[in-house]
């Protein structure tokens, strides 16, 4: 009887291991497919925005916002093939230590810069409605360029630790892993959640709620397009970024067990794809739909 129970337990453990390995393969393939689509759309969409702003739009504050945002999303998408290759080789990093550092740093740098610029665009639109006279006199291209420089410097400072604390590690089977120091990563997860989601989301909601109320009281505006753009901006920001931060915190501070591992494995892949897809959504929302907003 006891022998039978031991065999069943062994078979159950073996089945669980098989299931886990199958799940990992499915998630890795899904992740690579998702990243490939994001890479293609991100490079194409943001490349069109860069061309459109550089050759079709007159130089203005809006063109500065759009160009910088598109550059951040374009650069982010341009580095995705390195991550795709890493997963395609089953967790082997063939590009060396420096590219390991640079890849992690560039991805986080441009994600950060993109979020901060979305926040600034919201503030700029709100100020344009609240203080139209001040904007006509002081809302200049030079001021916009200065703001963009500050945002990129802030993004650099927030993420430079990823370049410093990311490195490669060679296993006995010659597989090279590209990893980040988890003690640093855990701290960064909280900092990023506050600086790149909580504060920006509150600012975006406040700004677009104020804009919504102003537009609603304007009898000359009969189109529903502005309201749809406002709703799309807020909803897309929340959907793209909230799950990513939630699963990052769970992965960094949760207690490990198999059930949590299953949830985190599926949640991490899904939330990363949603977060990375923000680089594809931005050109559509902020340029092609909202340029005359």
Helix and strand counts by DSSP (H, E) for the chain: 10, 2
Are the C-beta atoms of residues 161 and 184 closer than 8 Å to each other? yes
State the Cα–Cα distance between residues 146 and 164, nearest whole angstrom: 27
pLDDT at 94: 93
Phi, psi values for residue 108, rounded to 5°: -70, -35
State the Cα–Cα distance between residues 162 and 181, nearest whole angstrom: 8
Q: What are the tokens at 52? A: 């459109």
CATH class name, domain 2-289? mainly alpha
Per-residue tens of pLDDT for the chain, all 293 residues = 444 444 454 455 556 677 667 877 888 899 999 999 999 999 999 999 899 888 888 888 988 998 999 999 999 999 999 999 999 998 899 999 999 999 999 999 999 999 999 999 999 989 988 888 888 888 999 999 999 999 999 999 999 999 999 999 887 767 899 988 877 778 889 999 999 999 999 999 999 998 888 888 877 766 667 677 788 888 999 999 999 999 988 887 766 677 777 888 889 999 999 999 999 988 888 766 655 54
What sections of 166-290 are H helices per DSSP? 182-193, 199-216, 225-253, 258-276, 278-283
Are the C-beta atoms of residues 197 and 205 closer than 8 Å to each other? no
State the Cα–Cα distance between residues 67 and 58, nearest whole angstrom: 12
Distance in angstroms between the alpha carbons of the first and the last residue of the chain: 74
* Domain layout of the chain by residue ranges: 2-289
* H or E element in which residue 178 lies: strand 176-180
Q: Which residues pair with 166 in a beta bridge?
A: 180
Could you give the 3-state DSSP secondary structure of residue 68? helix
User: In this structure, how many other beta carbons lie within 10 angstroms of the beta carbon of residue 164?
Assistant: 12
State the Cα–Cα distance between residues 25 and 288, nearest whole angstrom: 37
State the Cα–Cα distance between residues 154 and 197, nearest whole angstrom: 15
Are the C-beta atoms of residues 270 and 26 closer than 8 Å to each other? no
Phi, psi values for residue 277, rounded to 5°: -70, -15
Of 38, 58, 57, which Cα lies nearest the Cα of 46?
Answer: 38
State the Cα–Cα distance between residues 190 and 208, nearest whole angstrom: 26
State the Cα–Cα distance between residues 85 and 91, nearest whole angstrom: 9
Are the C-beta atoms of residues 71 and 129 closer than 8 Å to each other? no
């Amino acid at each position: 009887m006891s022998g039978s129970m031991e065999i069943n337990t062994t078979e159950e453990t073996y089945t669980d291991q098989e299931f886990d390995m199958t799940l990992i393969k499915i998630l890795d393939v899904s992740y690579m497919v998702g990243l490939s689509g994001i890479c293609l759309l991100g490079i194409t969409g943001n490349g069109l925005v860069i061309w459109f702003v550089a050759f079709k739009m007159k130089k203005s504050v809006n063109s500065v916002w759009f160009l910088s945002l598109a550059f951040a999303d374009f650069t982010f998408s341009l580095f995705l093939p390195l991550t795709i290759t890493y997963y395609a080789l089953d967790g082997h990093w063939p590009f060396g230590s420096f590219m390991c550092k640079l890849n992690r740093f560039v991805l986080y740098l441009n994600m950060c810069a993109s979020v901060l610029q979305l926040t600034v665009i919201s503030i700029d639109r709100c100020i344009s409605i609240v203080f139209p006279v001040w904007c006509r006199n002081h809302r200049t291209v030079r001021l916009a360029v200065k703001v963009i420089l500050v945002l990129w410097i802030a993004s650099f400072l927030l993420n430079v630790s990823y370049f410093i604390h990311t490195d490669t590690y060679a296993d006995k089977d010659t597989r090279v892993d590209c990893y980040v120091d988890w003690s640093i990563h855990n701290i960064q997860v909280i900092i990023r959640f506050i600086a790149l989601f909580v504060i920006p989301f509150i600012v975006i909601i406040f700004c677009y709620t104020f804009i919504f109320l102003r537009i609603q009281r304007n009898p000359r505006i009969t189109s529903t397009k502005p309201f749809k753009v406002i709703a799309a901006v807020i909803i897309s920001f929340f959907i793209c970024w909230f799950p990513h931060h939630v699963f990052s915190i769970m992965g960094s501070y949760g207690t490990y067990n198999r059930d949590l591992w299953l949830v985190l494995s599926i949640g991490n892949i899904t939330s990363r794809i949603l977060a990375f897809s923000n680089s594809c959504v931005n050109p559509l929302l902020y340029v092609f739909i909202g340029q005359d907003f």
